[in-house]
Amino acid sequence: MTDKAISPLRRRMVEDMTVRGFTACTQRGYIRAVKDFTVFFGRSPDRATAEDLRRYQLHMRSEGASATTMNAAVSALRFFFGVTLGRGEASVGMTTVRQPRRLSVILSPEEVARLLDAAPGLKAKAALSLSYGAGLRASEVVSLKVTDIDSSRQVIRVEQGKGRKDRYAMLSPDLLALLRSWWRSGCAKGVMLPGGWLFPGQNPVNHLTPRQLSRMFHAAKAAAEIDKPVSLHSLRHCFATHLLEQKVDIRVIQVLLGHKKLDTTAHYSRVDSTTLKAVKSPLERLPAKQKKKKAS
């Protein structure tokens, strides 16, 4: 499809998304999904029918697209046809795909300590410790400003986290001490601007990116010789799971994580090892004679 054909549609779609307050990241994802459909369709997307959209879903499935990718495409195309084109009936046949729920791989507290100690530098250690110690997402860690650290109240102000919501996260004394060490080091290096980012990028005007933080995580993981298939986001999972294992109320954890629904937080109870250990197996309750017979 030519630029002349796409420009008016793209402009209108961007305007529709802007009016609804979509983030820049969401807008890019929606535009990309419509472009991918256009490549498949081979013509201007406003000429597509419900059957064309159905065929596109079959095409994505045959190409091995993940449930996440397919559902993102459904959301984008429903918006494009329903809002931008005013043709909601065209996307009626598009269905979301059930995503398999897999248990998160969790590091033990000892493994987390090894990983943080192996972080490549004080800046990396402070940023990764924030992800684990406060349960923050990567985007939330890198978007923090120095002024978001409220040492007197021992809280961290998270502005416009996922779902465009503000919240407070916990700030432990050990984490505060580490952040102060990094702040002093950053000031000495001249990278801490007044009212600036807590974790500046190479140009202090910009903050560290989530991708750069992820590279720091994987460097620390390799240095700590941790073989488990974990990612930067796993530190947030570890935060929630370790709190559950300490018997912290799940509703408190829900607030700390910024979850809208308790069901989302309850997912971590599936990997709470202390709860599993506290349950007696029925095998342990068999009479001693029966156990000996089975062993023989």
Is 242 catalytic? The answer is no
Sheet containing 165-170: which strands, arranged edge to edge? 149-150, 155-161, 165-170
Secondary structure, 3-state, 109-172: HHHHHHHHHCCCCHHHHHHHHHHHHCCCCHHHHHCCEHHHEECCCCEEEEEEECCCEEEEEECC
Is 157 catalytic? The answer is no
The whole-angstrom separation of Cα 47 and Cα 52 is 9
Is 98 catalytic? The answer is no
| Catalytic residue of the set 10, 54, 162, 267 | 162
Is 237 catalytic? The answer is no
Is 162 catalytic? The answer is yes
| Catalytic residue of the set 123, 137, 207, 237 | 137
| Catalytic residue of the set 30, 56, 132, 268 | 268
What amino acid is encoded at 224 in this protein?
A
Helices (H), the chain: 3-19, 24-41, 50-62, 67-79, 109-117, 122-133, 138-142, 173-189, 210-223, 234-245, 250-257, 262-266, 273-278, 288-295
| Catalytic residue of the set 125, 221, 236, 242 | 236
Is 259 catalytic? The answer is yes
| Catalytic residue of the set 78, 157, 233, 267 | 233
Other beta carbons within 10 Å of 296: 5
| C-alpha neighbours within 13 Å on the C-beta side of residue 101 | 7
* Residues with catalytic roles: 137, 162, 233, 236, 259, 268
